[in-house]
Amino acid sequence: MNTQTANTALITGASSGIGATYAERLARRGHDLILVARDRARLEALAQRLRRETGVHVETVIADLTQREDLAAVETQLRGDERISLLINNAGVAVNGPLLAADTAKLEAMVQLNSVAATRLALAAAEAFAAQGHGAIVSIGSVTSLLPERFNGVYAATKAYLLTLSQALAQELAPRGVRVQAVLPGITRTPIWEHSGFSSESLPPEMVMDVGDMVDAALAGLDQGEIVTIPSLPDAANWAAYDAQRLAMAPHLSLSQPAARYRNAVLS
């Protein structure tokens, strides 16, 4: 493939781990690529290899998405480049350890990248794709959004935010022909854990998924039209039941009177 088409994927955090694996898989599916990351050397090496091995057109964008100007440049590309039909919203960092011992500057930087930058890019893509009447937005969350007690609370909160954002966008964009997917991996064998000071090697091997298997499962979920994909969950009915219980509460979440258990407590 020598020229770009409207089948181009923009991938953030593309120089290693999940982002680089998405780049490989999508290139082999015939997608042209725009790869976004901070590490110029690794990004260019990946781009050159994918051009050579697959023949797709690969562009690189060196950007630090925690920096306002860099983030704005990627937003502008998403809004104005009609070749792009797929956003892989993957860039993120992790902070390990208890909240009371955390460096608040690191927590703030994590919120900026995992939540703020991801939101701005998702909305830029949503605007462009809705106008075109097609496209897909994939955000890489985490199962920690469902188990906030098990990991750093702010990291889990940023991933819960992505899940909520994706569910809301999916509802809003479906009539416009745009698909939205939140991917919730468990522990995946990538550099992010070592960078956070936590080694996945300390866990039982049955808890750690190879990054290739994770991305393959996520792409299969996208192909199947899933809004939420949990790659390691054996029975999809578990998520369906969880989601159904959440929605079952909807008629009771905003009422004119407190629940009886609170009224009775005041009277007693």
The string over 34-73, giving b where at least 16 C-beta atoms fall within 10 Å of a residue's C-beta and e elsewhere, is bbbbbeeeebeebbeebeeebebbbbbbebebbeeebbee
Is 242 considered catalytic here?
A: no
Q: Which residues contact 188 (CB under 8 A, 6 or more apart)?
A: 17, 18, 200, 208, 209, 210, 211, 214
Measured distance CA(119)–CA(122) in Å, rounded: 5
Which residues, including other chains, have CB under 8 Å from residue 87's CB and lie 6 or more apart? 9, 10, 78, 121, 122, 125, 135, 136, 137, 138
CA-based max dimension of the chain? 77
Q: Spot the catalytic one: 155, 161, 242, 262.
A: 155
Three-class DSSP category at 63: coil
- Smallest Cα–Cα separation from 90: which of 206, 202, 191? 191
Q: Which residues are catalytic?
A: 155
